[in-house]
C-alpha cells in the first residue's frame, strides 16, 4: 500500500514527444554555410557560469566552422568559428571560451567568453567576461565588462523604454521630458541602465 | 584599488554635464566603472587600452628603441589612433603619453589634436618625480566626477619627465593648457582643443 501510494504521487515521466502543439526545435540556419565538420551533438564543457546543454540551446562545437548567415530562433552557444552574420533578436548568444566569431551580431542578449570581431546590437544586455576579447561597436541597453576583458570599440547605450503603465502616466502629464531623440534618460530607465559592476 | 580626488577630472566632467550626447575617447582600457559613469550621463564612449597597444607594437625587445622604428611606429598609429578627424568631443589619455619617445610622442599628440573637435577637452596625467627609475602605472577609472580609481598595473620606466614648460611646448597646437596642483607626484593637465 505505502509503496503504491508513493508511486501514485510520482509525476508520470514526460516523453519529449508528448508536446505535439509545439513545433520541433529549429536548428540553426546557415545560408550559405560551409562546415568542415557537422554541427556538434556532443555536449561541450560547461563554461564558467553557463551550461549550454543543460539550458537546451543549440551548440556549435569546438571543431565547427560556419561561414555565412546564422538565423536562430533559440538560444545559441558558439564554441567553434563563425564568419558572417548572426541574427537571433529574441534569444541569447553565448560565445564560449573557444569561440572565435567574426560577424555582426543582433541578439537579445550576448555573453562573450571567447573572441568576437564585429559590431553587436542587443535588445537587452551584453556581458563581456574575463579574458574575453571584443573588437567592434556595441549598441545595447546594458553592458557588463569584467576586469581582464579586452574591448576596443564604441559603446552606445540605448535606453530601455518605460513600461506601459509608467509610459501612459508620463504621457498624461505635461511634457517635461527630454525630446525623443535625446540620449539622456531619466527615472526608471536610468536605473535600468548601466550600473552593474563585476570584479 | 586606490582612489584619488582629481580637480582635473572635475574640470573635464564640467563639460560632460553641460552637454549630453558627446562622443568620448577613453584610453585606459574598457572598464565597468568609467563606462557606467560616462554612459549614465548620456555619452557615447570609445574605449581602447593604449598601454596594451604599445606593448603589442613595441614590447618585443627594447620598448623605447622600438618606438623609433618607422614601420612599428606606423603600425602602432594605425592600430591605436586610426580615427576620423574631429570625431571626439573629449579624450581621457591619462598617463599614457609618458611612455612615448620624441618623434612618436609628437605624432600621437598631433593625431589627438586632429581627432578632437574644437573646444573639446583632453585630460592627461604626468608624474613629476625626476629622480626615480620607474613609476607606478595604473588602469585609471572614474568613480565619480571628482574621484579616480587606480587599479595597479606594475611599474614602468617613463620615456621622459615633463615640466610645465615642456608640457606647454608639447601641446602648443592646442588652444590652452591648464595645470592642476596636486599633493602627490602626479601633475594633472587639461588641454583645450
A160 at the B interface (CB within 8 A)? Answer: no
User: Which of B18, B26, B32 should be substituted to probe chain A, the one whose Cβ sees the most A Cβ atoms within 10 Å?
Assistant: B32
A21 at the B interface (CB within 8 A)? Answer: no
Closest CA of chain B from A139, distance in Å: 10
Full pLDDT tens readout for chain A, 199 residues: 444 444 444 444 444 333 444 444 444 444 444 444 333 333 444 444 555 555 568 999 999 999 999 999 999 999 999 999 999 989 999 999 999 999 999 999 999 999 999 999 999 999 999 999 999 999 999 999 999 999 999 999 987 665 545 444 444 443 333 333 333 232 333 322 333 333 3
Helix (H, G, I), strand (E, B) or coil at B35: helix
Q: What is the mean pLDDT of residues B151-168?
A: 90
Residues spanned by the domain of A73: 57-157
Chain A CB contacts of B49 under 8 Å are 150, 152
- Indicate yes or no: pTM above 0.80: no
Cell of A52: 549550454
CATH fold for domain B2-192: Rossmann fold (3.40.50)
Helix (H, G, I), strand (E, B) or coil at A84: strand
Strand runs labelled E in chain B = 2-5, 23-26, 44-47, 88-94, 116-127, 135-144, 147-156, 176-180, 186-192
Closest CA of chain B from A29, distance in Å: 33
Secondary element (H or E) of residue A36: none
- Test A154 with B36 for CB contact under 8 angstroms: no
Residue A153, phi then psi, degrees to nearest 5: 155, -175
B105 at the A interface (CB within 8 A)? Answer: no
How many domains does chain A contain in total? 1
In chain B, where the domains are located: 2-192
A127 domain residue, yes or no: yes
Structure letter (DSSP) for residue B28: B
Paired strand residues for A125: A109, A142
Q: Are strands B176-180 and B186-192 parallel, antiparallel or unpaired?
A: antiparallel
- Percent of residues, chain A, with pLDDT higher than 70: 52
This model of the complex carries an ipTM of: 0.89
Q: Where are the alpha helices (DSSP H) in chain A?
A: 2-9, 52-55, 164-172, 187-191
Q: How much is the pLDDT for A161?
A: 61
Chain B CB contacts of A154 under 8 Å are 23, 44-47
Amino acid at each position: 500500500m505505502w509503496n503504491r501510494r508513493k508511486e501514485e504521487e510520482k509525476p508520470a515521466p514526460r516523453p519529449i514527444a508528448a508536446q505535439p502543439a509545439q513545433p520541433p526545435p529549429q536548428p540553426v540556419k546557415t545560408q550559405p554555410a560551409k562546415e568542415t565538420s557537422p554541427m556538434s551533438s556532443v555536449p561541450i564543457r560547461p563554461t564558467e557560469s553557463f551550461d549550454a546543454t543543460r539550458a537546451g540551446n543549440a551548440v556549435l562545437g569546438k571543431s565547427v566552422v560556419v561561414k555565412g548567415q546564422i538565423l536562430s530562433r533559440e538560444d545559441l552557444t558558439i564554441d567553434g568559428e563563425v564568419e558572417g552574420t548572426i541574427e537571433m533578436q529574441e534569444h541569447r548568444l553565448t560565445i564560449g571560451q573557444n569561440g572565435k566569431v567574426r560577424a555582426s551580431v543582433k541578439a537579445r542578449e550576448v555573453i562573450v567568453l571567447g573572441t568576437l570581431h564585429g559590431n553587436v546590437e542587443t535588445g537587452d544586455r551584453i556581458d563581456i567576461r574575463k579574458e574575453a576579447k571584443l573588437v567592434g561597436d556595441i549598441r545595447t541597453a546594458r553592458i557588463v565588462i569584467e576586469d581582464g576583458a579586452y574591448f576596443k570599440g564604441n559603446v552606445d547605450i540605448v535606453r530601455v523604454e518605460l513600461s506601459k503603465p509608467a509610459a501612459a502616466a508620463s504621457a498624461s502629464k505635461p511634457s517635461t521630458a527630454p525630446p525623443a531623440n535625446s540620449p539622456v534618460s531619466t527615472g526608471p530607465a536610468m536605473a535600468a541602465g548601466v550600473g552593474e559592476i563585476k570584479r | 584599488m586606490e582612489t584619488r580626488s582629481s580637480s582635473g577630472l572635475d574640470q573635464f566632467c564640467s563639460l560632460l554635464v553641460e552637454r549630453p550626447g558627446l562622443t568620448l575617447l577613453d584610453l585606459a582600457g574598457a572598464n565597468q566603472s568609467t563606462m557606467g559613469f560616462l554612459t549614465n550621463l548620456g555619452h557615447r564612449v570609445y574605449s581602447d587600452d593604449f598601454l596594451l597597444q604599445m606593448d603589442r607594437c613595441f614590447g618585443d625587445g627594447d620598448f623605447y628603441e622600438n618606438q623609433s622604428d618607422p614601420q612599428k611606429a606606423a603600425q602602432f598609429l594605425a592600430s591605436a589612433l586610426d580615427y576620423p578627424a574631429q570625431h571626439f568631443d573629449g579624450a581621457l589619455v591619462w598617463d599614457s603619453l609618458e611612455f612615448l619617445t620624441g618623434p612618436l610622442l609628437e605624432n600621437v599628440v598631433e593625431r589627438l589634436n586632429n581627432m578632437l573637435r574644437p573646444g573639446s577637452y583632453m585630460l592627461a596625467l604626468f608624474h613629476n618625480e625626476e629622480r626615480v627609475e620607474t613609476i607606478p602605472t595604473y588602469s585609471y577609472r572614474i568613480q565619480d566626477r571628482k574621484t579616480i580609481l587606480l587599479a595597479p598595473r606594475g611599474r614602468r620606466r617613463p620615456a621622459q619627465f615633463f615640466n610645465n614648460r615642456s608640457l606647454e611646448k608639447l601641446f602648443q597646437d592646442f588652444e590652452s593648457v591648464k595645470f592642476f596642483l596636486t599633493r602627490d607626484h602626479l601633475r594633472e593637465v587639461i588641454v583645450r582643443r
